Amino acid sequence: MKKKSAWLALPLAGALFLGACSSDSSDTEAATETTAVAEETAASEAAVAETTAADTAAAAETTVAAADTQAAAAAGASLKDVCPETIVIQTDWNPEAEHGALYQMVGANPTVDTDKKRVTGPLMDGTTDTGVKIEIRVGGPAIAFETVVATMYKDPAITLGYVATDDAVSTYSKFPTKAIVAPLNKNPQIIMWDPEKYPDVKSIADLPKDIKIRVFGPAAYLSYLVGAGIITQDQIDGSYKGEPSAWVADNGKSAQQGFASAEPFFYEKVLKEWGKPVGYQLVHDAGWDAYAAALAVRSADFDKNKDCFKAFVPVVQRAARDFVGSPDAANTLILDLVTKYNTGWVYTADQAKASVEYQLKDSLVANSPDGTLGSFEIARVDGFIKKALPVYEKEGTEVKADLTSADIVTNEFIDPSIKLP
């Protein structure tokens, strides 16, 4: 509940609403590149004279490996011989466009279990069937609002789960996990305000210290914001339940938590009682820069799944890229599942479309500083751990004092050639 809110009955409108919520080179190109390298080497006799036989062999091996990788990516990955028959992924909420990379991988005519809230279908790499299945399980109400990490440790059938960096840090001592790819570059969590009432406010730190901030009770990011002097403890109002009625009733006098990919569009375009823009800042940009919805494995299962992850992670990267480029098919599946699951979560086509637009506008989906889509910025993770450990220690959470980025994330399986245009 700290990341998402349920859809609740809206007394003002009598409706439900949203809460806080490369193409790769061809074989011909690879061969051309190899030929060009060979011609250049032959043309430079001095360079050849200085190159040892071992160096030449290593260079040739690297070139062949690169060509093979490019060719495999162009053809679509096969996971049949290296992955489980079904890759099971546990999400943290109902189906939504923020999960688009996952639903992008679900092939035609999937099986939908409306009781257990999960969908299973061919796992696709673009238009290529990888030879295994993907099963996406709903979080939130479907798992009684239990954390994804706790659910993963209860059910060994789950291959990977959505584990945010802050959750990975706070649960590592008891339930260690390691994330292998990050479809989202930034956490969508925001604090929002009325820009008409507070025209000079451009960030959370600019908010007047005498106004309340409605949130879902205690959360580590709030403790961080207080400790950093960005807000005060007295500003935190933990009474927020997801409904916009309090915001409308006080005419935007207070600030409120939300999601950049949800509330700004909902409040301006859907909520008729408000019907105007909101100002906001990502909690990420205020300093709590955890990765959200990173795909993570139980640490004890990491080594035995390496061959699978080596083939699977680039598929996820391509799916994330393809989804934001052409989201209609995956969003259609998402909307169909929302209807079939019938958990009380209400999600419309306009909201799904707008979510993708905001994901790109606010760099929620974006290339990492290394230019790669889906990779972790290691310095960022190490920096986050240094900020987060004192917060959790102060809250009385058992943490691993010498925790490093190498414990909780890896770029070992990332394909650096996959990126947003």
Residue by residue, pLDDT tens for the chain (421 residues) are 344 544 433 333 333 333 434 333 344 343 344 444 344 444 444 443 344 444 444 444 443 344 444 444 444 679 999 999 999 999 999 999 999 999 999 999 999 999 999 999 999 999 999 999 999 999 999 999 999 999 999 999 999 999 999 999 999 999 999 999 999 999 999 999 999 999 999 999 999 999 999 999 889 999 999 999 999 999 999 999 889 999 999 999 999 999 999 999 999 999 999 999 999 999 999 999 999 999 999 999 999 999 999 999 999 999 999 999 999 999 999 999 999 999 999 999 999 999 999 999 999 999 999 999 999 999 999 999 999 999 999 999 999 999 999 999 999 999 999 999 9
State the pLDDT at residue 241.
87
pLDDT for 60 equals 41
Residue 189 has φ and ψ, to the nearest 5°, of -55, 135
**Angle, CA 391 vertex, CA 386 and CA 394 arms, to 5°:** 130
Is the pTM higher than 0.85? The answer reads no
pLDDT at 34: 40
Tell me how far apart the alpha carbons of residues 231 and 206 are, in angstroms, rounded to a whole number: 9
329, amino acid identity: A
What six digits make up the tokens of 357?
């637009």
| Two structure tokens written together for 233 | 């403890």
SS (H, E, C) the chain: CCCCCCCCEECCCCEECCCCCCCCCCHHHHHHHHHHHHHHHHHCHHHHHHCCHHHHHHHHHHHHHHHHHHHHHHHCCCCCCCCCCEEEEECCCCCCHHHHHHHCCECCCCEEECCCCEEEEEEEECCEEEEEEEEEECCHHHHCCCCHHHHHHHCCCCCEEECCHHHHHHHCCCCCEEEEECCCCCCCEEEEECCCCCCCCCCHHHCCCCCCEECCCCCHHHHHHHHCCCCCHHHEECCCCCCCHHHHHCCCCCEEEEECCCHHHHHHHHCCCCCCCCEEEECHHHCCCCCCCCEEEEHHHCHHHHHHHHHHHHHHHHHHHHHHHCCHHHHHHHHHHHHHHCCCCCCCHHHHHHHHHHHHHCCCCCECCCCCECCCCHHHHHHHHHHHHHHHHHHCCCCCCCCCHHHHECCCCCCCCCCCC
Q: Which residues of 338-348 are buried (b: 16+ CB within 10 A; e: fewer)?
A: beebebebebe
Q: Which two tokens stand for residue 191?
A: 């604090």
Q: According to the model, what pLDDT value does residue 7 have?
A: 46
**In whole angstroms, what is the distance from residue 119 CA to residue 129 CA?**
17
Are 416 and 314 contacting, i.e. CB atoms less than 8 angstroms apart? no
Q: Which amino acid is at 231?
A: I
The amino acid sitting at 382 is D
Which pLDDT belongs to residue 242?
86
Check residue 143 and give its pLDDT: 96
The amino acid occupying position 373 is L
Strand partners, 86: 133
Alpha-carbon distance values, 342 to 54, 112, 120 (Å): 63, 12, 18
Q: First vs last Cα of the chain: how many Å apart?
A: 34
